[in-house]
C-alpha cells in the first residue's frame, strides 16, 4: 500500500497511513478544529482586552489621584463606579417614554458626577467633567471585556461553534472600539479635544469675540451677526468634557424668540462608511445629534410646532476617531464647515432673519 506508485519503502507506507488517518480525523473533527482556532483567536483578543481594561482602570485611578488629590485611596470607589448600570424605562406603554428616559439620564449624570466629586475633592467643575469622561471610557472598556469574556466562556463550556462564532465574527470591530476607548482615556484625562468635538469647535470659532451666556443645560450661546442675519450660536460649555443638553438649549432659544427662527443648522461629527475620507464635510436635512434620542426628540418637537426648517452639516469620521484625540483632518475641516454654513444661510434665508447654529458634540478641550 503506497501513495506513490513505484515506491514501496516502509516509511512511505507509514506516511500513507498517517495521511489517511489525518484525512479521517479532519472529516470527523474538522468543525471542532475550526472551533478551536476561533476560540484561540477570541482568547488572544480577550487577553488584549483585559490588558487594555486594566490599563484603563489604572489610568483613571492615576488621573483621579493626580487631579483630585483624594485623602483615601479611590481604587475601591473606582471599581464600584466601573460596575454601574442604568436601567431604561419600561416601554410597554410608550406614551411619555422620552421624558422618563430624560429623567433617568439626568439622575445617572448627577449620580456619576457626585461620585467623581467624592473621589476627587480638589477638582474644579472642568476637571470633574474630564474625570467623569475618563471613568466612562474605563467603564466602556470594562463592559466590552466582560461581554467578550462571557461569550468566550460560554463557547468553551458548550463547545458550540455558533456561540463562539457570534463573538469571533464581530471581534475586529470590537477590538477597534476598545482601542479607541483606550486612547480616549488619556485624551479625557488630559482634557484634549476629541473627534466628536468637531461641532463645538466650529461653534466656538464662530463665537470668538462675542459675549456668551449660559443656557440650560450646560450649554452656552452667543449672538453673532453673519451675512446680515442674526446667528444664535449654541454649544456645550467647554473646555470640560461635556455634551450638554442641546435639546433643552434649542427649546429655550426657540421659545425666547417665540418661534421666529428662519432656520436651524446643526453641526456634528458623523460616522463615515469605509472608503469615505476622514474630515469630509457633508450636508443634509434633519436633527444631527446622536445619543439616546431625547435631544433629537425635543428639537424635532419644537421645529414641527413652529415649522422651522432644519439643516445638518456633518464632519465624517469613524468611531475610533470620534472618541480619540482629534485628528488633524477633522480640525482642518472647521473652515470648510463654516463656508458651508455661511452658504446655507445666504441661500436659504433673507437679511434680518434669525438662525440658530448648534455645534453638537463633546466640548472637551474646546473653549468658547
Partner 1 sequence: MRMKNMTQNQTQSTSANKKISTYLTMIVLIVMALAVTALLIAVETYFVGDQLAAGVLAGIGLIALMLSVFLLYQSKLQSAQVKIEVPKVMTTIECKCGGKTVREFQRGDYVYKELDVPCQKCPTTKQMITAIYREIKEKEKTFNV
List the one residue from 199, 238, 359, 361 that touches partner 1 (CB under 8 A): 238
> Of 238 and 247, which CB lies nearer to partner 1 in the complex structure?
238
* Cβ-contact 325, 181 below 8 angstroms: no
Q: How far is the CB of 3 from partner 1 (least distance, A)?
A: 9
Distance from C-alpha of 144 to C-alpha of 166, rounded to nearest angstrom: 14
> Of 54 and 227, which CB lies nearer to partner 1 in the complex structure?
54
Q: Does 199 bind partner 1 (CB under 8 A)?
A: no
Q: How far is the CB of 344 from partner 1 (least distance, A)?
A: 23
Label the pairing between strands 263-271 and 309-317: parallel
Query: Nine-digit cell at 357?
Result: 447654529
Site string for partner 1, 305-344 (x = CB under 8 A): -------------------xxxxx-xx-------------
Q: Which of residues 130-189 bind partner 1 (CB under 8 A)?
A: 179, 182-183, 186-187
List the one residue from 17, 18, 118, 173 that touches partner 1 (CB under 8 A): 18
Binding piece for partner 1, criterion CB under 8 A, among 12-20, 94-102, 259-267, 309-317: 12-20
Q: Which residue has the cell 475618563?
A: 134
Element (H, E) at 284: strand 281-285
Q: What is the gyration radius of the CA atoms in the chain, in angstroms?
A: 27
Query: Nine-digit cell at 6?
Result: 513505484
Element (H, E) at 356: strand 354-359
| Three-point CA angle 31, 33, 35, nearest 5° | 70
Concatenated DSSP letters of 248-282: HHHHHHHHHTTT--SEEEEEEEEEPPTTSPTT-EE
Where would I find the beta strands (DSSP E) of 187-256?
212-215, 219-226, 229-236
Distance from C-alpha of 39 to C-alpha of 197, rounded to nearest angstrom: 38
Q: Which of residues 272-301 bind partner 1 (CB under 8 A)?
A: 275
Q: Does 201 bind partner 1 (CB under 8 A)?
A: yes
Distance from C-alpha of 239 to C-alpha of 224, rounded to nearest angstrom: 21
List the one residue from 123, 168, 192, 310 that touches partner 1 (CB under 8 A): 192
Q: Which of residues 43-102 bind partner 1 (CB under 8 A)?
A: 43-44, 47-48, 50-52, 55, 66
> Of 31 and 304, which CB lies nearer to partner 1 in the complex structure?
31
Q: Residue numbers of the site for partner 1 (CB under 8 A)? A: 4-7, 9, 11-12, 14-15, 18-19, 22, 33, 36-37, 39-40, 43-44, 47-48, 50-52, 55, 66, 179, 182-183, 186-187, 190-193, 201, 204-205, 208, 238-239, 275, 324-328, 330-331, 365-368
Amino acid at each position: 500500500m503506497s501513495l506513490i506508485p513505484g515506491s514501496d519503502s516502509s516509511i512511505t507506507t507509514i506516511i500513507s497511513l498517517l495521511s489517511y488517518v489525518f484525512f479521517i480525523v479532519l472529516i470527523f473533527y474538522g468543525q471542532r478544529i475550526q472551533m478551536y482556532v476561533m476560540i484561540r483567536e477570541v482568547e488572544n483578543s480577550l487577553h488584549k482586552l483585559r490588558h487594555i481594561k486594566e490599563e484603563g482602570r489604572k489610568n483613571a485611578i492615576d488621573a483621579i489621584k493626580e487631579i483630585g488629590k483624594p485623602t483615601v485611596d479611590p481604587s475601591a470607589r473606582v471599581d464600584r463606579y466601573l460596575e454601574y448600570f442604568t436601567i431604561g424605562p419600561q416601554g410597554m406603554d410608550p406614551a411619555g417614554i422620552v421624558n422618563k428616559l430624560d429623567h433617568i439620564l439626568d439622575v445617572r449624570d448627577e449620580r456619576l458626577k457626585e461620585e467623581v466629586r467624592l473621589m476627587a475633592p480638589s477638582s474644579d467643575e472642568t476637571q470633574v467633567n474630564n474625570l467623569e469622561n475618563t471613568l466612562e471610557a474605563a467603564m466602556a472598556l470594562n463592559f466590552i471585556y466582560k461581554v467578550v469574556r462571557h461569550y468566550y466562556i460560554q463557547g468553551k463550556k458548550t463547545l458550540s461553534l455558533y456561540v463562539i462564532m457570534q463573538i469571533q465574527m464581530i471581534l475586529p470591530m470590537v477590538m477597534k472600539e476598545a482601542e479607541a476607548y483606550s486612547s480616549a482615556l488619556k485624551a479625557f484625562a488630559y482634557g484634549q479635544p476629541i473627534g466628536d468635538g468637531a461641532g463645538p469647535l466650529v461653534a466656538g470659532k464662530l463665537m470668538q469675540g462675542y459675549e456668551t451666556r449660559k443656557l440650560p443645560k450646560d450649554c452656552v450661546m452667543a449672538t453673532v451677526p453673519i451675512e446680515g442675519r442674526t446667528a444664535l450660536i449654541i454649544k456645550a460649555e467647554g473646555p470640560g468634557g461635556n455634551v450638554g443638553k442641546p435639546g433643552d438649549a434649542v427649546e429655550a432659544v426657540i421659545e425666547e424668540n417665540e418661534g421666529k427662527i428662519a432656520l436651524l443648522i446643526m453641526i456634528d461629527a458623523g460616522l463615515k462608511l469605509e472608503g469615505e475620507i476622514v474630515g469630509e464635510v457633508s450636508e443634509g436635512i434633519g436633527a444631527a445629534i446622536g445619543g439616546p434620542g431625547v435631544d433629537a426628540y425635543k428639537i424635532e418637537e419644537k421645529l414641527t410646532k413652529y415649522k422651522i426648517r432644519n439643516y445638518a452639516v456633518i464632519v465624517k469620521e469613524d468611531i475610533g476617531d470620534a472618541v480619540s484625540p482629534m485628528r488633524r483632518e477633522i480640525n482642518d475641516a472647521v473652515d470648510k464647515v463654516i463656508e458651508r454654513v455661511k452658504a446655507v444661510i445666504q441661500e436659504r434665508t433673507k437679511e434680518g432673519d434669525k438662525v440658530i447654529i448648534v455645534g453638537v458634540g463633546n466640548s472637551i478641550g474646546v473653549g468658547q
